[in-house]
């Protein structure tokens, strides 16, 4: 089993948790609080990741990155975005300079 398989398993779990009771599932409790709360958690985790990077803490960046990806995947599931859609967008951008890609978005 590849380490990246965990993302696929996590995506399935996120969908399943939509039907779970909020008192039994952290993810279900986020869904109940709504997209604004989920987006807030993504932002918080992104800031915590950045702060850990500035502090130079390798292990903390790993831990915060995992939190960030987890909450981002909750947001994707809430919006019915499949990880494959994000992977496809990354693949589309492969080989395009960051400046060129950004300028193409207008």
Please work out, in degrees rounded to the nearest 5, the angle formed at the alpha carbon of residue 61 by the alpha carbons of 73 and 5: 40
What pLDDT does 14 receive? Answer: 92
Q: Which uninterrupted H or E stretch holds 50?
A: helix 35-55
DSSP state of 81: -
CATH 1.10.287.1080, applies to 5-81? yes
Q: CA-CA distance, 73 to 99, in Å (whole number)? A: 27
Domain-wise residue ranges, the chain? 5-81
Q: Coil, helix or strand for 3?
A: coil
Q: In the chain, helix, strand, coil percent, each to 5?
A: 75, 0, 25
pLDDT for 3-61, tens place per residue? 668 888 999 999 999 888 899 899 999 999 999 999 999 999 999 999 999 999 999 99
Residue 1 above 70 pLDDT?
Answer: no
Q: What own/partner pairs with CB < 8 Å and gap ≥ 24 does 48-55 have?
A: none
């Amino acid at each position: 089993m590849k380490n990246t398989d965990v993302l696929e398993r996590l995506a399935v779990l996120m969908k399943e948790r939509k039907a779970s009771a909020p008192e039994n599932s952290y993810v279900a409790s986020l869904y109940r609080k709504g997209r604004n709360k989920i987006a807030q958690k993504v932002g918080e985790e992104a800031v915590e990741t950045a702060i850990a990077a500035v502090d130079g803490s390798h292990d903390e960046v790993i831990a915060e990155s995992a939190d960030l990806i987890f909450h981002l995947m909750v947001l994707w599931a809430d919006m019915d975005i499949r990880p494959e859609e994000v992977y496809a967008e990354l693949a589309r951008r492969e080989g395009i300079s960051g400046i060129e890609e950004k300028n193409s978005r207008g």
